[in-house]
Structure 1
Amino acid sequence: MKIKKRRHLFFSVGIMCHNEEQNILNLLKSLRKQSYWRYIKDIIVVSSGSTDQTNKFIKSFAKTHRKLSFINEKKRRGKAHAINKFLVQATKEIIVLISADLMPTEKSLEFLVKHFYNKKVGIVGSHPIPMNDKNTFLGFAVHLLWDLHHQISLKNPKMGEMIAFRRVFKKISDSSVVDEVNIESLIKGQGYKAVYEPRAIVYNKGPSSISDFITARRRIYVGHIATKYEYSYSVSTLDNFMVLKCILKNIRLSPTFLLYLIGTILLELISRVLGYVDYRFKLKDHTIWEVITSTKRLK
């Protein structure tokens, strides 16, 4: 009996960036070290309105890596617009989207892409782990939110930071604030399965100031409620009962833990109130993200 060999899953990688000089080269080098490097058909970097050395670093890397293409947007129009430009140029059916301020581990892309041998799988999410110091208040807050994201995603997958998906749509809305959620809803709406891959670890850096924390969480909440009301799609992390259940499961009876927990909940509530007001009364357009510099240095 002749055993049929699996066909290799070649894929396109897209990186959207704006003023990412501190991490873009590190990210590109980490892609070169990926176990699935040989299956990456093309890497397309869309730089939107960058005014630092981001473009210089990308061009330098492209000189020695023929897989890399560079799209320079003179004017910054938002991440969703950049993603749509990438989708026009990408050559493969399987797409991996990576934010420029991340650092994937060596097998992250392999763990993501292998799921597409299953024809029912349409989108796969990674496991983001922050590099912030857990012993500080904001470090605790950032770790708590991503820990909750991880625990909830194990039961009800939620996409974030780095995703892989089948290209079964042409574009996302240019006004999208949370691109991963929009893509998740588009793909699941066509009957495909969403999968969370905890082994596909990607490191990020959370905000290190209260104002930056609120800015980020406010924007994310605007995106989540916009998707809920405009596309009738709710992400799993908006399930407050599930969030509370995970918090109670991991609660520790130490004064510092409880104080930090209460502080984090208060910051999240403030962010959500501000986000709701932004959305309800159209007070602030979050399509073009406000740059949070404290999240850009991963070391």
Structure 2
Amino acid sequence: MTDISIIIRTKNEGKSILKTLEKISYQKINKTFEIIIVDSGSTDNTLEIAKKFTGRILKITSEKFTYPYALNFGTEHTNGELIVYLSAHCPPVNDYWLYHLTKHFFDPNVAGVFGKEIPIKGLNQVYEYSQLYEMFPSNGSTYVLFSCPNACIRKKVWDRYKFDERVPKKYPNVAVVEDQLWAQMVKQKGYKIIYEPKSIVYHSHKFSLKNLIRNYSGGYFSKEMSDNYSPILSENSFQKKIKMYIKKKINCFKYLVKNHYFKAILWDFPCSILFEVVLFYLGKRDREKEDESNNSFKNNPHNSKRLPN
């Protein structure tokens, strides 16, 4: 049996997948591993490149693609005891990425491990600071969200608790949350999720309005998502979180000035703040409507028998 199965989701990743696959092939680890490509309709040279490194290429239609479905579909076809999820545009930084990502599984209570994602300098200047100092710190002392662009899970745990393929229907305004929801679920079952900052990959997306909406949709449009998935956006300790938000933005602005990112200061930075504020208040409005709807349902005597004790 293979020790590790590495699943890479692809669609038109021809510009980046070669470097990622080469970095995987250089990994120094005393375990066997296989590479499985889950492609959702590439029309460039992605699959031609992939075939040079693996014969395990699975295809799904773009119409059928969702992030949780692709993860589950790929995992169903694995032979490994450990399942690694790596984005095609996230090349490992060094030859020990895989070792560090998988070294914690001697503990049977560990369900998942995820690594550090660092930015490609200059590609998305606003989020360089966020990635380096907030989202993926160099230690595990702060709150870090489980992230499937660079993660490993135990297949036996996945056999019992799969990624929720209902996520796109439950949270239609949210682009990607299947990994955080899975981590939350298994932790509630008593398993451990570990952040390993020594397992490092590059991960950046260009600054654009599309990516802004994608990044900031999560947690804004649903009370359940806000309370359970995104505690930073929760209404709890609202004033404290506003102070934290302002402090982070000040630190980000200082970082931009220090690195002479003047275009980002004039355009990217204010645009990101504008989108955050607008989407937050849209979400707040929707959460208030959701509360009213839930209260109305609970106060309806015809529904009283349907409520749990």
Give me the TM-score of the superposition, normalised by structure 2: 0.70
Query: 1:47: Cα distance to partner?
Result: 0.3
Aligned to 1:217: 215
- The change in CA–CA distance for 1:92 and 1:145 in structure 2 (over 3 A counts) is same
Query: 1:120: Cα distance to partner?
Result: 2.5
> Quick check: 1:72 aligned with 2:59?
yes
* CA displacement 1:37-68 (0-9 Å, x = unmatched): x5243211100121222122212332xxxxx5
> Within 2, Cα distance between the matches of 1:242 and 1:262?
19
Quick one: higher RCO (CA 8 Å, sep 6+), 1 or 2?
A: 1
Does the aligned pair in 2 maintain the 1:126–1:198 contact within 8 Å?
yes
Aligned to 2:276: 268
Aligned to 1:293: none
Does the aligned pair in 1 maintain the 2:38–2:70 contact within 8 Å?
yes
> Within 1, Cα distance between the matches of 2:89 and 2:145?
20
Does the aligned pair in 1 maintain the 2:9–2:88 contact within 8 Å?
yes
What is the root-mean-square deviation in Å for CA atoms of aligned residues?
3.6
> Within 2, Cα distance between the matches of 1:61 and 1:253?
42
Q: Which amino acid counterpart does residue 212 of structure 2 have in structure 1?
A: I
- The change in CA–CA distance for 1:255 and 1:165 in structure 2 (over 3 A counts) is closer
> Within 2, Cα distance between the matches of 1:98 and 1:183?
16
Q: Which runs of 5+ in 1 are unaligned?
A: 1-8, 63-67, 282-299
> Within 1, Cα distance between the matches of 2:164 and 2:197?
28
1:244-283 mapped onto 2 (5 Å cutoff): 245=244, 248=247, 251=251, 257=257, 260=265, 264-272=272-280
Does the aligned pair in 1 maintain the 2:100–2:199 contact within 8 Å?
yes
Query: 1:256: Cα distance to partner?
Result: 6.0
Q: Which amino acid counterpart does residue 13 of structure 2 have in structure 1?
A: E
- The change in CA–CA distance for 1:220 and 1:25 in structure 2 (over 3 A counts) is farther
> Within 2, Cα distance between the matches of 1:243 and 1:11?
43
Does the aligned pair in 2 maintain the 1:158–1:235 contact within 8 Å?
no
Query: 1:191: Cα distance to partner?
Result: 0.6
1:23-42 mapped onto 2 (5 Å cutoff): 23-36=16-29, 38-42=30-34
* CA displacement 1:238-276 (0-9 Å, x = unmatched): 467579548738838859659946654333333545677
* CA displacement 1:196-239 (0-9 Å, x = unmatched): 11111110122233x133232134446xx66x727973345546
> Within 2, Cα distance between the matches of 1:236 and 1:12?
32
Larger Rg, first or second structure (1 or 2): 2
Query: Among 137, 160, 163, which residue is 1:172 paired with?
Result: 163
Query: Among 2, 6, 13, which residue is 1:20 paired with?
Result: 13
- Secondary structure of the 2:101 match is helix
1:218-233 mapped onto 2 (5 Å cutoff): 218-221=216-219, 229=224, 233=228
- The change in CA–CA distance for 1:278 and 1:94 in structure 2 (over 3 A counts) is farther
Aligned to 1:287: none
Aligned to 1:201: 200
Give me the TM-score of the superposition, normalised by structure 1: 0.72
Aligned to 1:294: none
> Within 1, Cα distance between the matches of 2:203 and 2:252?
25
- Secondary structure of the 2:23 match is helix
- In percent, how many aligned pairs have the same letter? 24
Aligned to 2:128: 143
